[in-house]
Structures are given as structure tokens and as C-alpha cells.
Amino acid sequence: MSTDENVNFDYVFNWEIENFTFCWQKETEIIYSPLFSAETIENSNWILLLHPKGVDENFISCYLKRAPTDNEPPFIDIYFDLIFRNVYGSILKEVCNIKYTFPLNMGLGTHKFKARKGLILPRGTLIVSCRLRRSYEKTAYVVEQIAKTVIKVDHKLLDWSIAKFSNMKLDEKKSLSIKLTSAGDVLSLDLFISAGEYSEEIIIVSISSTLKRIKFVTVKLILKDTEGNMVECGRKEFYRDTAENFKTLPLIFTKSKLLSKKDLYLKDDQLSLGCVCAFTTGVAYEGVSGTFSGNFKSIYEDTNIVTKEKSTGCLQEDLKSFYNDLALSDTTLRTKTKSFPAHIAILCARSPVFRAMYSSGMKETITRNVDILDLSDDTVQRMLIYMYTDTLESMKWDSVSLLYIAADKYGIMSLRNRCVSFMEKILTTANVCEALTLAERHLDANFKRILQDYIVNNRKEVLGSKEWKVFMKSNSELAAEILYKIGAED
């Protein structure tokens, strides 16, 4: 390779950090990239530094630092860029064309490079790209180095069943011990009921940790119902070498709320919780995996290119073709009888529930499979088509009510609202009670109000129907609310 100092070389360094969300470094602590070099820039060596938790936990800090070499000059003038990308090439943050004179063993960057809140990393991977060059002029040659740091992440999934839940007394404890490693890394969980404000009985789980080899562990609790749905109750993190090894996690349901919905949450008087533990003991691999050089457009540059052909297409049609292209899929949704290939980026963009699955170390992150055993093939397919194309096809009452349930489960609020609009248009005295039960179960206050208004405005037909008589027996409180509204109007 030519080392003519008059030639403006482009040095691109792509550092892929796998399982970045499990970086154990606390505030102000650093993770370092492998060393990379720039031969025609005085044979200089460079390194990237990140503070994963920043200096105040709200931002990720990023710096470029000049590393020592033999016979190095005291100062080097360069232009450089710093870019955060995800595994699909999307740019999350970039700072470009920074001119700086680097002294030996000194760095430059910012402690507020990228906000941590709202950071979406499919597969949990962050790619940090750095570009070095002598001048702002167009470069004639590219040297691209690829490096990887893999943070080892292990998972442990446990079911925690609390028998005879309704008989639990205040401060009575139900305990669970989770042995994470053979080295003595243990989590201890205690569930108990405490008297809360206004005499509500709050369910609390206290968690303590004893960490020997593990550097960082997340604990997530999930409430399971009899229909196969799972509701995340909360999440706690523990670090090794910290005095704070005890935390409390109030569940989102009070005891009275669970008892009022026994059929859904307390089958055989048993409270079913899931405990998801994900932890790291350190770096599994790090190093430079390859170097490319020549007169070519780098991977780094390609992420910024939008061709005229791409920009003139119909986005809806393009995304539908993306859905149909099975070769590019990187995950699978599985019902009892069928598998649906899909793309993590689309699922995460459309659903906060899928986003949580793929970015917080749950088993779906590893297996790339999501089991949806409580939904039909038709419902999952309709949900996917909507997520890719924003369209609904051949909708009828039964299919739209099932799609409403799916939309609520996965937090796709635009789809849930579309289902509500469709059902509102085809309400009848025969189906309004069914819809009201659906709205109450999914805590949809807006839909509930629409249905109550329909019943009040069509009181004679609805109250005289056989569906209303069945509804009154199984939903006495809801029926009483509506009769009160009717009485108030009369």
C-alpha cells in the first residue's frame, strides 16, 4: 500500500459491541475498543472510549483518543467523525468533520454524545464508527478496519408459583432463591403483602443479591394469566462491588385487584409469576476481525447513501415486499400451527412490547423465536400485515375483535384505535355487550365510553335483548354503571 503523505487516506474503524445493553460499567467507568492504526498519519495508533452509563446515567459518552507509538510526533492534526449505528445501518447519532490537534495520549469527544432514553438496539448491538483523515478534501483511498467486542450474557428463566395466595396475611413471606452460578452468585426473592395507602394491600417483592463472578444482572418479574398473556411487573439491576444489593419491587396489581379477577389471574388460588434473570461475567471476545483497503465506498459511507430509485418508490409497497422477502427475515413468530418470518427492526419500530423483548435480554433475543400460542394464524398474519403496511384487509366482527386483543397485547395503539373505529361503525344490539366486556378487560376507557353511549342511546333495543340478560349475570358492576347512566338521563 502506498504511504505517500500527500495522499489523503480515509481511515474507517467500525467497532461492534454485542450485548451492549449488558455493559456493567457504572457512571464514569470506561469500555475501550481494540487499538486501531493509521499508517499514513505518522503511523499513529488510536482507541475509542465509551462511558456506557455516561457521567449521570442519562447519556452515553464517546471519545477518540490518541494512543502512544514509537517515534511519535508531539501533535497530530486530523479531521474525524464519530457515529453510532445499529446492526441495520441506521444512524443513531453522528458528529462529523471535527478538526482537532491531538497531543500524545489525549482524547476528544463528549460526555453527552447520545441520550440513553429511547435508545433502540436490535439484537442489543451498538456499532461505533470512527473516520480519520488529514484534510477535509475528498479522499483517494480507504482503509477500513472491523473490530468486535462480545459481552457474554447468560439467562436463567424460572416459574414462581405462590400457592393459596388469597390466604396470605400481611407481611407473610413467600421466598425463592435463584442460584445463578456455581461460584456463589445468588438472588434471594421474598414476596409479601403490605398495607398501603387507603387500606389497599400492596404486593411487594424484595430482591437481594450476592454476586461473586457476575458483574451485572437484571431481574425481571412477569405476571402470567390463565389465557397465556404475560404482563411485565418491573425490572431491577444489580452490580457487583456495590453496597446497594437490596431492592424492592411493588407489583402493578394489588391483592384486591387479583382477587376480583380470580378466573384470569388466580387459577386454583395460585399466583403465577415468571422470573427472568440475565447476567454477564465479562467479555467473551474482543479483537480486530478484518481489514479492507482500496478505492471503494466503505460500509460507513453506504449507510448515508439514498439513491434516487429508492426515494421514488411507494413506501407502503416497499415494506410489503420486505415482508414477503423471507430471505431477509431475522426472527419468527410462532403460533400453535404456523411460523411467520419477520424482521426485528419492523417489530421494534411498531410495538413497544417487541422492542422490550429484543432489547432487554429476554429469551427471544437469543432464540429469535416468539411463541404466540394464544392467537390464531389469521390474527397474527393480519397483525403483521398492518405492522408492515398500515392496512387492514377483509375485516369482519370476529376477526377485528381478535385483532383488537392482539394489538392491545403488543401495545400497537394505532392498530387498536383502528379496530375500535371499525367496531364502532358496525355496532348492533347483538354485539355491543360483547364489545363492552372486551373494552373492560383491556382497560380501554375510550372504547368503553363509546359503547356505553351506544347502549344509552339505544336503551330500549339493548335492554330488551337476550344478550343483555346474559351480560347482566356475568358483569353486574358494568351493567349497574350503564343503568345508572340511563337513570341519570331520564
What DSSP string describes 156-200? EEEEEEETTGGGPPBT--EEEEEE--TTS-EEEEEEEEEE-GGG-
How far apart (Å, rounded) are the C-alpha atoms in residues 122 and 104?
36
Average pLDDT for residues 56-71, to the nearest whole number?
Answer: 87
Contact in structure between 329 and 343 (CB atoms under 8 Å)? yes
Helix (H, G, I), strand (E, B) or coil at 345: helix
Mean pLDDT computed over 373-383: 90
What residue type is assigned to position 213 of the chain?
A: R
- pLDDT bin (cut points 50, 70, 90) of residue 383 is very high
Q: Which residue has the cell 483511498?
A: 141
Residue 453, pLDDT score? 87
Contact between 415 and 423 under an 8 Å Cβ cutoff? The reply is no
- How far apart CA 78 and CA 435 sit, in angstroms, is 65
Whether 419 and 435 have beta carbons less than 8 Å apart is answered as: no
Give 112-126 pLDDT, tens digit per residue.
999 888 777 777 889
pTM of this structure: 0.61
| Least confident window among 6-10, 29-33, 314-318 | 314-318
pLDDT tens-digit readout, 233-287: 888 999 988 777 889 988 878 888 889 888 888 989 999 998 989 999 999 999 9
Q: How confident is the model at residue 312 (pLDDT cuts 50, 70, 90)?
A: very low
Query: Which pLDDT does position 332 carry in this prediction?
Result: 86
Please give the radius of gyration of the chain, using alpha carbons only, rounded to the nearest integer: 28
pLDDT, position 324? 62
- Res 189: pLDDT: 95
Q: What distance in Å separates the CA atoms of residue 145 and residue 219, rounded to the nearest whole number?
A: 37
Tell me: the pLDDT tens digits for 417-437? 899 988 988 888 889 999 999
pLDDT digits (tens, 9 = 90+) for 66-109: 998 877 788 999 999 999 988 767 788 899 889 999 998 898 99
Provide the pLDDT for residue 343: 85
- The alpha carbon of residue 212 and the mean position of all alpha carbons in its chain are separated, in whole angstroms, by 28
Supply the mean pLDDT for the chain: 84
Please state, in angstroms and rounded to a whole number, the distance separating the CA atoms of residues 447 and 444.
6
| Residue % of the chain over a pLDDT of 70 | 87
**If you average pLDDT over residues 171-189, what whole number do you get?**
93
Give the pLDDT mean for 30-46. 91
pLDDT of 398-409, one tens digit each? Answer: 899 999 999 999
Q: Confidence band (pLDDT; 50, 70, 90) for 362?
A: low
Q: 27 by DSSP, 3-state: which? A: coil
- On the question of pLDDT at 3 being above 50, the answer is no
Over 50: is that where the pLDDT of 221 sits? yes
pLDDT of residue 199: 57
- What is the pLDDT at residue 101? 93
pLDDT per residue as tens digits for the range 440-488? 888 888 888 888 888 888 888 888 888 888 888 888 878 888 887 776 6
Confidence of residue 380 (pLDDT cuts 50, 70, 90): very high
Q: What are phi and psi of 461, to 5 degrees?
A: -70, -45
SS3 257: helix
Chain center to CA of 170 = 35
Residue 44, pLDDT > 80, answer yes
Assess whether pLDDT exceeds 60 at residue 110: yes
Closest CA to 390 of 462, 315, 298: 315
Residue with the three cell numbers 458483574: 215
φ/ψ bin of 474: left (φ > 0), alpha (ψ from -120 to 50), beta (otherwise)? alpha
